[in-house]
Amino acid sequence: MKTTYREAVRAALREALQSDPRVFLMGEDVGRYGGAYACSKGLLEEFGPERVRDTPLSESTFVGAGIGAAIGGMRPIVEVMTVNFSLLALDQIVNNAATLRHMSGGQLSIPLVVRMATGGGRQLAAQHSHSLEGWYAHVPGIKVLTPATLEDARGMLPTALRDPDPVFIFEHALLYPMEGELDENIGPVDISHAVVRRAGRDVSLITFGGCLGKVLEAAETLAAQGINAEVIDVRVLRPLDTAAILTSIAKTHRAVIVDEAWRTGSFAAEISARIMERAFYELDAPVARVCSAEVPMPYPKHLEDAALPQVDTIAHTVLEMLKPHG
Amino acid sequence: MASGELPATRGHALLLLREMLRIRRFEEKTVELYSLGKIRGFLHLYIGEEAVAVGAMQALTPDDSIVATYREHGQALARGVPAGALMAELFGKANGCSRGRGGSMHVFDVSRRFYGGYAIVGGGLPVALGLALADKLQGHSRITACFFGDGAVAEGEFHESLNLAALWKLPVLFLCENNLYAMGTALIRHQSQTDIWRKAEAYAIPADAVDGMDVVAVEAAARRAAETVRRGNGPYLLEARTYRFRAHSMYDPELYRTKEEVERWKQRDPLVTFPAALRARRVLSEAELAAMEGAVATEVDAAVRFAEDGPWEPVEDLTKDVYTGA
């Protein structure tokens, strides 16, 4: 069936509300407005205001209320409009959602799902465009997912809802209109492993979320030049599937990591470090990274394009890496 | 029941006294143990404020939920968390009520619906809202009592939480323990409106203030407040005006207030005034008070032994309970 990423998210939300009376959705504009990205359009009419709850602009409190409701026996899905706004809820996420289980000696479970849009590319400037999922992946006690495909947009949510721990799903804002074919009977998907999206032997391109499409495109460009790139979609930033990355490196002996976050302290840095720690002697070249420029995201299109990882910068990095030296 | 009156029955009067005495003697013992290095970290004492926890707890049933602060030994003991499990928690032992993972500031006892122990000022308020929301959605009739100090009312989460609780008519009893100091900053230096209960008016929440040094008055006010919440009309804010006789924590040199001020408040010590009132009405004899002191001392000694004898969590379990089942 032909569908979009947005419709896949909506189908997952609808199914969750239909199949479990403990599930409810809350967040800014999820009800009457239909969701800032229209993911919850129609759900208020179908499920009513008790289960599709519009909240005030109070990120810290409605995320915290989601934590309390999860402790109290519900299965809340909290939508934070964008990752930039989630910083207002950082206290509840880091100090409560991630820690209460441990600090209580295992007495509490927090089956909370938080969804939010992330990423740049829509000329929304610095307060609506950043990619901070790597920050969240720093925190033990939560799980961090980055659905990059229609299957993952549809299937990660039901799996996350079955998870007894807090799960954060970062949906790249540019993916919502993405169209494609999706099996009508697609069910929940695994949320613990990376996936090889394109098999290859010359270099491992490691990425996640909004960069996957660009990386696959770059791989095709490279293929035309006789370079066969393997593309790994990390999918889950925490807990990270290191084994999948190492398996690919053992095959290709080269790695380029593509991450839309800033280079300094990025998740790409974490992946790079793990490769160095575990596969240093497999490498035929230093690990390379394609990340965003170290600048708050600018508004003009040409500057935003220059700040973000692009197909040609990815391809160029690979070509440089494969250039004969000496 | 007006301030200065006695409880209806002699038995209840003695119960209130005994509960306050348990908190006072337990914490006096923790001071000794702290200087011996048996208890480490921060230790925030409740000494002086006992009438608030003991009075308020009388208005709550075992089915109600409680969210507390980082100064929560009094609330925990008044709720029925065993003194031994609490002391072991302060020692960091595995037989502590949070398996020693939380310490003084993170007391959890889910079997008694005691949901922590929050060391980020104001951080427990949204969680209390969520517990209440879960109850409302599941048709439970219980209420959630949320303790916080005067410092918390400067936090955004206080205002967000009052707004959302009123908007959604959530069964939350907000209990402000106004001890006049946010750590070392006096109320007049951190609040433009020092009548905290009046802040509730802006959110259309009924509110009241009570003498927090009078256990009988606190109980009466808390019962009225809890009944209002139980009727299903939404939250209530009760401000208990109290004072801590000790420093903010064991590290605090207390440079921000005078000894005279502390001595003035000690004239109103509930553990002096309440027994005096009982003796004056011939409800309590010297011998009975001595017997009560003896029983409390025995309980505290047993708690210390329970903590001393408790095992340390094996280091192999370090990363247990970060995620469920791991």
Report whether A234 contacts A192 (CB < 8 A).
no
Average pLDDT of the residues in B78-85: 98
pLDDT in tens, B110-163: 999 999 999 999 999 999 999 999 999 999 999 999 999 999 999 999 999 999
Query: Is A128 annotated in the active site?
Result: yes
Task: Report whether the peptide linkage leading into residue A324 is cis, meaning its omega lies within 30 degrees of zero.
Answer: no
Q: How far is CA B167 from CA A55, B129, B222, B224, in A?
A: 10, 11, 22, 21
Q: What b/e string do you get for B171-199 counting C-beta neighbours within 10 Å, with b at 16 or more? A: bbbbbbbbbbbbeebebeeebeeeebbeb
- In tens, the pLDDT along B59-74 reads 999 999 999 999 999 9
**B65: DSSP letter:** E
In this prediction, residue B2 carries a pLDDT of 43
Cβ pair A294, A271 in contact under 8 A: no
The reply to whether residue A108 touches residue B110, judged by beta carbons under 8 angstroms, is yes
Q: Say if strands B207-211 and B236-241 run parallel, antiparallel, or are unpaired.
A: parallel
CA quadruple B201, B206, B211, B215: dihedral, nearest 10: -160
Interface of A with B (CB under 8 A): 24, 50, 53, 55-56, 58, 60-74, 76, 91-92, 95-96, 100-109, 140-141, 143, 164-165
Cβ-defined contact of B126 to A67 (cutoff 8 Å): yes
**Closest chain A residue to the Cα of B116, Cα to Cα:** A104
Percent residues over pLDDT 90 in chain B = 94
DSSP per-residue letters across B237-271:
EEEEE---SS-SSTT---TTS-HHHHHHHHTT-HH
Nearest CA in chain B to A53: B168
Q: Is A316 labeled as catalytic in the residue annotation?
A: no
Q: Per-residue confidence of chain A (326 residues) as pLDDT tens digits? A: 999 999 999 999 999 999 999 999 999 999 999 999 999 999 999 999 999 999 999 999 999 999 999 999 999 999 999 999 999 999 999 999 999 999 999 999 999 999 999 999 999 999 999 999 999 999 999 999 999 999 999 999 999 999 999 999 999 999 999 999 999 888 899 999 999 999 999 999 999 999 999 999 999 999 999 999 999 999 999 999 999 999 999 999 999 999 999 999 999 999 999 999 999 999 999 999 999 999 999 999 999 999 999 999 999 999 999 987 75
Which residues of chain B have a CB within 8 Å of the CB of A67? 126-127, 130
Percent helix, strand, coil in chain B, to 5, is 50, 10, 40
In the predicted structure, residue B6 carries a pLDDT above the cut 90:
no
For B271-312, how does the pLDDT look when each residue is reduced to its tens digit (9 = 90+)? 999 999 999 999 999 999 999 999 999 999 999 999 999 999
Q: What whole-number distance in Å separates Cα of residue A166 and Cα of residue A239?
A: 12
CA-CA distance, A103 to B321, in Å (whole number)? 9
Computed over every residue of chain A, the mean pLDDT equals 97
Does ipTM come in above 0.90?
A: yes
Q: What's the rounded Cα separation, in Å, for the pair A119 and B222?
A: 48
Which 3 state secondary structure label does DSSP give A7?
A: helix
CA distance A284 to chain B (A): 35
Q: What's the rounded Cα separation, in Å, for the pair B210 and A57?
A: 32
Whether A89 contacts A80, CB under 8 Å:
yes
Single pTM value for the model? 0.96
The three-class DSSP label of residue B182 is strand
* HEC assignment per residue over A25-54: EEECCCCCCCCCCCCCCCHHHHHCCCCEEE
Chain B nearest C-alpha distance from A5 (Å):
29
Between the CA atoms of A287, A291, A293 and A296, what dihedral angle is there, to the nearest 10 degrees?
-140
